Every structure is written in C-alpha cells, then in structure tokens.
Structure 1
C-alpha cells in the first residue's frame, strides 16, 4: 500500500456508491488527518458509462470492465453493486490479489459469506461489512465490543426501512398496502422490484449476518422462519391496534440452550414497546446481554448517506488495523434446529357471511383448548366478520377446522408479549 495515497476501487455507482463518493470528497481532510494518507477513488465499475448520475465523476475513472479495476492496483475495493453474481466472482478475484474489501452487500454475505471469510483469512486481507446490516447504525462494531464481556442472548429489531415506512403509512394514514408501496417507490425507499424487502428476504439476510457475528454460526437461510408484509391489510393493523399492539416486521436472532433461532415475521408489539415507536424508514436494533441487559440503537437504516457513512467508516477503520484472522462462519444443520418457541399469537379471523356467530366461534376455540386473553370483534356494512384474538394454543389444525365449519380464514402472527 502506498504511503501517500490510499487507492480505492468502487464496484457500483448507484445510490450508495454515489454517497460513498460524496462522503470521501466532503470528509477528505478529516480522513487524511486520521489516516495520514489521502483517500482517492481511482476506478469505478458501472454498467453504463454514459448514464447521468447524481454525483459528478470523471469519465476517465469509470469503466464497464472489471479487469480495469483489477489492473488499477487498488488497495481497497468498496463493493456496493448488490446481488451475488457477478459480485462474488469480483470480490474473490480481488481478495486473491491481496485487496481489502468493504461491502454493503447483505445478500452476498448471507449466501457466500462463509467462503468470503475463508478467502479473507487465506489471503490475509480485511473483509469489512458494517454497512450490510443497519445502514448508519454501527451495530456490528457495538456487538463486537459487547462480546468481549457479555453473552448476547438475542438480537432483534426492525432491520428494513422500506417495510417500516410502508407499515407506518398504512397505520397512520390508512393507506392500503399497494398505495403505501407505490409511495415508498416514488420516494426512493423501495426498488422497482420490491420483492426482497416486502417478502422479508432483506431482513433475513441481515439477521443471518448478525447471528454469525454474535454466535459464530447461523441457520441455513432455507431453515429460518420468514414471512413478509406483502399480504398484510388495514383490517389486521386496525384490530391489532385496538388490542393494544402495533404490527412491525421484526427480525430476531437468538440462541437458547445451544439452539440457534432465526426468524423474520410481522409481529405484534405492545404500543409502549420501544420498537413499536420506530416509524417511517428508520431502523432499530435491540440487544440483550447477560451483563449489560437490554440496549436499543436507532437510526436511518437506508438511503444514500447513512449507508455511505458506514462504508467510509469501515474503510477508515480497516486502514488503521493490523490484519487478524476473521472468526469462521458456520451453518447449523437444519435437522438440528429447534422450532421457534412462541406462546402468544395474534389470530386474525375473517369471513364474508360467516356460518357461525362470534359466540359460537369463540365457544369452539375454548372447547378446542385455545386460551384467549384479548379479543375484538367487528362487523362492517358488507356483513364481513372480523375477529382479532390474542391467544395461546392456536394451531394450523384449528385454522383448518374454522374454515371447514364456519367459512373463516385465519391468519396468525407472533406476539412479543400478551
């Protein structure tokens, strides 16, 4: 690495990549003072060199050929192109050449992270990924510090700003899901294809990374519980609120008696719960440690500058550190996984022209051994029956019987507390 200049390559100059460029330029003096060297982006890989961008970049610096980045003798490469292919092949080739990597790519880490960690160790290069989990919240650095003395029992939170914005608009402004999603897309919070966000994949990738950091292992992605918000509607949010709860897309990673648990699901939180107060595109992470207790971290989890801030902080940090081997990432086999324990559930029952009265339905559940602790019943002008229950002991079999005997559709969501 040259003594006067740190040569940086950039894979991707989209929203985050543009933010990285802006941040390096605006913080150049501070970075130079901190590092004793000037940080310069010397080559940037893009799909289209003629595309108009929100950030100015010299045409001599941009290229559509990865070989140009590889030949630029860069010291560090910032990978913000997203996806697994071709990002994995690019990062692998750079590591093999001895180049340090900073990435915000949670999908790449969740799907190929174990291999990248092994490659980094083999070639004695740094792999930094703070920006992959919660945008501007430096949660990975915080967790590394707490792990020196604390045993972290669980990490949970709102890890996707797009879905949190959609749920906020649905609840506060009574916007149907499709309208709130379109609004999120117009504001740049959601991609044209929002699948990864709204189906819970994005939050699951981040939970996987958190589990690897905290526990040194995680479940395979296919073995984790995952449910998104794409099937939620206003009736469910309204009944949940009447019962004293707010629905959030909650991601959780925990270890109990040696068993890893990993889940992403719309979850009912008591209205006074700290995570229930997190609105719009903000993220929040709650950490539970055996010594420190519960801690909550909140901030903007997405967008140009919050994510770019984490990327550049990673870049500056690794330049001040000697290489030490990364802890190996492992996956626990699915056949050893203990199912997520969940005592209380929110049962949303709905039917048009129900074949039974609310009393008959509740009597059926009582006889079936379902314990109901809270309930709300609604009829609307179209004779649609809606029942919201916070209950214990509700199973898939109960849902099937309700549909068969009463024409009721049942949707079930976890509840953080009764």
Structure 2
C-alpha cells in the first residue's frame, strides 16, 4: 500500500457503487486528513461500459473484465455488485491475492461467509461488511463495542425497508398488497423482482450476519423460520389494529437455554412498542444486553447514500487498524423441537362458506383448550366470517379441525 495513496477498486457502479464514488469524492479532504493518505478509485468493474451513469467516471477507470481488476495494483476492493455468482469467485480471488475487501453483499455473506472469513484470516486481509446490515445504521460497529462488556441476549428489528414501506401504506391507506407493491416499485423502493424482499430472504440474510457477530454462530439458512408478507391482506392488518397491534416483518436472533433461534416473520407488536412506531422505508434494530438493557437504533436502511456511507466508513476504519484475525463464523443445528402450540399468538380465522355459527367456533376452541385473551368477530351479510384473536395454546391440530369441521382457514402469527 502506497505511503501517500490508497488505491481502491470497485466491483459494481450501480446505485450503491455510484454513491461510494460520490462519497469518496465529496469527502476527499476529510478522508485525507483522517487517514494521512489520499483515497483514489483506480479501477471499476461494470457489466456495460457504454451505460449512462448518474455519477461521472473516467473511461480509463472502467472495465468489463474482472481480470483487469485482479491484475491492477489496488489495495482495497469495494464489492457492491450483489448476488452470489460470479461475485463469490471474484471475492475469493481478491482475498487470495491479498486485497482487503469491503462488501455490502448480505446474500454472499449469509451463503459463503464462514468460508470467506476463514480465507481472509489465512491471507491476513480484512473483510469488512458494516453496509450489509441496515444500511446507514452502524449497528455492527455498535454491537462490537457492546460485546466487550455485555452478554447480548437477543437482537431483533425491522431490517427491510421495502416491506416496511408496503405494510405502512397498506395500514394507513387501506390499499391491497398488490397495489402498494406496484407503488413501491414505481418509487424505487422495490425491485422489478421483489421476491428477496417480500419473501423475507433479505431480512434473513441480515439476521444470519447479526447472529454470527453476536453469538459467534448462526443457524444454516434452511433451519431458520422464514415467512414473508406476500400473503398478508387488509383483513389481517385491520383486525390486528382493532386488537391494539400493528403487523411488522420482524427479524429476530436470540439464544436462550443453549439454543439459538433465528426467524423472520410477520409479527404483531403493541401499538406503543418502539418498533411499531418505525414507519415507511426506515429500519430499526433493538438490542437486549444483560448490562445495558434494551437499546433501539433507527435510520434509513437502504438507498444510495446511507449504504455508501457505511461502505466508506468501513474503508476508512480498516485503513486505521492493524490486521487482527476475525472470530471464525460457525453454523449449528437448531436445538430441540419447537413447541406444538404457539405460546401467545394472533389467530386469524376466515371462512366464505361457514359450516356452523361463530358461537360454535369459539365454543369449539374453548373446549379444545385454546385460551382466548381478546377477539374481534366480523360476520357480514355475505356470510363471510373473519375472527381475529390473541390467544395461547393454538396448535396445528386446531387448524386442521377448524378446516375439517367448519370450513375455516386459520393463519397464525407470533405476538411480541
């Protein structure tokens, strides 16, 4: 690494890559003063060299061939191209060459992080990934500070701005899911293919990374609970609200009794809960420590500049630190079986061809041992039954019996 210049390579000059370029240029003097060296982007890998970009970049810096980046004299490579292939192969090759890596790629880390951390340690290079979780919220750095004195019991939060925007608009404007999703795509909050966001994958990748940092291990992705928002509808959101709750896509990593739990699920939060107040495309992370108690961090979770800010902070941080090996990432299998019945849940029951009466339904649940805390019943002129209830002891067997005996479809959501 030159004594006067830090040479940076970019993999990807899309939204985030363009933001990284803008940030380095606009903060050039501050970075130079802080680091004692000038930071320069000297090579940028793109898919299409002719594409018009929102941020100007010199032609001699652009290449469509990864081999040119690998052969250049870059000190640090910022990976913001996303995806797993061919990104994984590129990052491996750069680490083996001895390049430090800064990445915002949560999918890559969740699927190959255990290997990449070991590889970086073996080659004596830094693998920095603050921007991979919650964009502009510096949650990973904060957690590293807390881990020096606190045992963290759980980390939970709203880790996907797209789904939070959709749920906010559905509740406030009473618009159906498909209509709000289209709005989100037009505004640039949602991709043309929104599956990673709305099916909960994006939030799960981030939760996996948080668990690795906090607990030194995580569950394999296939072993975590994952449920997205694509099947939520206004009936569920409305009844939850009448019962005093708001539905959020809640990500959670916790460790109790020796067992690690990882989940991303639509969850009911009391209206006065801090996370229930997080609206639109904002993210929030709540940390529970044995000494510090509960802390909440909130900010913009995505977008050009919030993510670019985290990338450039990572870049500056690793340039001021001596190399120390990272704790090795590990995966463990889930401990024990989940309980047959939800401890406390929101049960949403719906039937368009009810066999029986609402009273018979509630009587059946009472006799079956389901303890109902409170409920709202809607039974309109078209004989459509909707019941929302906060209950405990509701199990899969009850769901099957309701469908068989009453023609009722039941869905269950956790309650925080």
Partner of 1:104: 104
- Most deviating of 325-334 and 98-107: 325-334
Question: Contact 1:376–1:387 at 8 Å: present in 2 too?
Answer: yes
SS of 1:193 mapped into structure 2: coil
Please state whether the residue corresponding to 1:309 is helix, strand or coil: helix
Q: Report the CA distance shift for 1:241/1:40 in structure 2 as closer, same or farther (over 3 A).
A: same
Q: Kindly provide the CA deviation profile for residues 108-166 of structure 1, in whole angstroms up to 9, marking residues without a partner as x.
A: 00000000000010000000000001100000000000000000000000000000000
Q: Assess if the C-alpha contact under 8 Å between 1:259 and 1:338 holds in 2.
A: no
Q: Secondary structure at the match of 2:232?
A: coil
Q: Secondary structure at the match of 2:197?
A: helix
Check whether the contact 2:342–2:395 (CA below 8 A) recurs between aligned residues.
no
| Alpha-carbon spacing, 1:112–1:337, altered in 2? closer, same or farther (3 Å) | farther
Q: How does 1:125-274 map to 2 (within 5 A)?
A: 125-274=125-274
Deviation, structure 1 residue 292: 0.2
Runs of 4+ in 1 over 6 A off after TM superposition: none
Residue 124 to residue 342, structure 1, CA distance change in 2 (3 Å): farther
Alignment size in residue pairs: 415
CA contact (8 A) 1:372 1:389 kept: yes
Cα RMSD (Å) of the superposition? 1.0
Note if contact 1:346-1:391 (Cα within 8 Å) is conserved in structure 2.
yes
Partner secondary structure for residue 111 of structure 2: helix
Q: Deviations over 1:202-221 (max 9, x none)?
A: 00000000000000001010
Q: 1:4 to 1:227 in 2, by over 3 A?
A: same
Matching residue of 1:409: 409
Question: Which residue number in structure 1 is paired with residue 323 of structure 2?
Answer: 323
1:153-185 Cα deviation digits (max 9, x unpaired): 000000000000000010001111011111111
Question: Aligned equivalents of 1:89 and 1:208: distance in 2?
Answer: 21
1:215-261 C-alpha deviation (Å, 9 max, x unpaired): 00010100000000000001100000000000000000010011100
**Rounded Cα–Cα distance in structure 2 between residues aligned with 1:248 and 1:186:** 22
2:2 aligns to what? 2
The SS at the match of 2:133 is: helix
- TM-superposed CA distance for 1:337, in Å, is 4.9
Q: Label 1:137 to 1:159 Cα distance change in 2 as closer, same or farther (>3 A).
A: same
Q: What is the rounded CA distance, in whole Å, between the counterparts of 1:28 and 1:218 in structure 2?
A: 38
Distance of 1:337 and 1:283 partners within structure 2: 31
Kept in 1: contact 2:342–2:393 (CA 8 A):
no
Structure-2 change in CA distance of 1:337 and 1:301 (3 Å): farther
Q: Post-superposition shift, 1:333?
A: 2.3
Shift of 1:59: 1.3
Q: CA 1:20–1:295 in structure 2 vs 1: closer, same or farther (change >3 Å)?
A: same
TM score, norm. by length of structure 1: 0.98
Shift of 1:339: 3.0
* Unmatched 5+ stretches in structure 2: none
Report the Cα offset of residue 384 of structure 1. 1.2
The CA distance in 1 between the partners of 2:337 and 2:143, in whole Å, is 24
How far has the Cα of 1:382 moved from its partner? Answer: 2.9
- Aligned-residue offset at 1:338: 5.0
* Whole-Å separation in 2 of the counterparts to 1:310 and 1:10: 15
Q: What is the CA-CA distance between 1:383 and the residue it aligns to?
A: 2.5
TM-score norm. by structure 2 comes to 0.98
Partner of 1:14: 14
Unaligned ranges ≥5, structure 1 = none
Counterpart secondary structure, 1:412 = strand
Tell me the SS of whatever aligns to 2:60: coil
What's the offset of the Cα at 1:415? Answer: 0.4
1:18 match: secondary structure = helix
Q: Does the 8 Å contact 1:244/1:270 carry over to 2?
A: yes
Q: Offset at 1:381? A: 4.2
The answer for the alignment partner of 2:117 in structure 1 is 117
Residue 339 (structure 1) aligns with: 338
Q: Give the distance between the partners of 1:220 and 1:344, measured in 2 at CA.
A: 26
**Which secondary structure state, in structure 2, belongs to the residue aligned with residue 81 of structure 1?**
coil
Say whether the 8 Å CA contact 2:348–2:410 is kept in structure 1. yes
